[in-house]
Structure 1
């Protein structure tokens, strides 16, 4: 069997970047603490100043406990357009390591300002004690750009 993945080129790198830059939410895949059972939740998503994914998550959420135990995770971004076969729409899987950002740090303050500029409604809960920012450090990605167009992307390919 031949490798079904194509090499990234300027067009597919741009398509992947557009998916990241325009995503308002993502499906977050984690491992349940103490098991190999996967779990998926929808999270709000934005980007930091370098164009990498960030989110504001509650410590009360099961996915937060999972990320604290096992920071390796995956994000799926891209939504069907509502017409035809949803599998023909582009989508991007990002393999990541989640890194919690501590309150009271300049990094937190910078992410808070950027996140609220991009997601102003999050101002309703951003300062609740159980919410924190998480930065997703991307290791690689898989772009499904439509039927027969699967592309492997390195972290460098995905850089803004």
Structure 2
């Protein structure tokens, strides 16, 4: 992938705090907003969310772990909405048990981005969910769209940035 596109993709995923999360709710599409963090360890790229058991999207992910996260650049006065950079990542949601050795690392990644969420980890109904990408649709701007495999998406995070 072109280095400027790699930088743009990274900026979206590392610079934005909230993603739209699409799940299946009783067989119908359902979208909600979730804070997310990105981890890049052991050759794997994963997105991390911390969700309440009271939320519909949490129950949905437990029933049907196939999800989609969309991250979008902020709206700008001089850019038409359809030209805004964005990425939709399809993936598998995996609930990580508190006694799983990965839990501490994923929690640290999440709190590294959202330190104000520390108190939520004391609540018993919240869970860490690691989303393993299976593919992505990256729109870098108007008429600049591409489909990325999980491997291509991961490679973008292991390449040297241009800046």
Query: Aligned pair 1:79/2:80, yes or no?
Result: no
Residue number in structure 1 paired with 2:38: 47
The 5 A counterparts of 1:9-88 are 9-33=2-26, 35=27, 37-50=28-41, 51-84=45-78, 85-88=80-83
Q: 5+ unaligned residues in a row in structure 1: which ranges? A: 1-7
TM-score where L is the length of structure 1: 0.87
Question: What SS class does the counterpart of residue 125 from structure 1 fall into?
Answer: helix
Q: Is the Cα contact below 8 Å between 2:12 and 2:73 reproduced in 1? A: no
Q: Which runs of 5+ in 2 are unaligned?
A: 158-163
Relative to the length of structure 2, the TM-score reads 0.85
1:75-114 CA-to-partner distances (Å, cap 9, x unmatched) read 0001333313222210000011101111122211221122
Aligned 1:1-160 pairs, distance under 5 A: 8-33=1-26, 35=27, 37-50=28-41, 51-84=45-78, 85-159=80-154, 160=157
Taking the aligned partners of 2:148 and 2:10, their CA distance within structure 1 comes to: 11
Deviates further, 132-141 or 11-20: 11-20
* Superimposed CA distance per residue, residues 44-63 of structure 1 (whole angstroms, 9 cap, x where no aligned partner): 11112435211100111000
Please, which moves more after superposition, 104-113 or 143-152? 104-113
User: How large is the RMSD of aligned CA atoms in angstroms?
Assistant: 1.5
Separation of aligned partners in 2, 1:65 and 1:95:
18
Q: Distance in 2 between matches of 1:155 and 1:89?
A: 22
Aligned length: 151
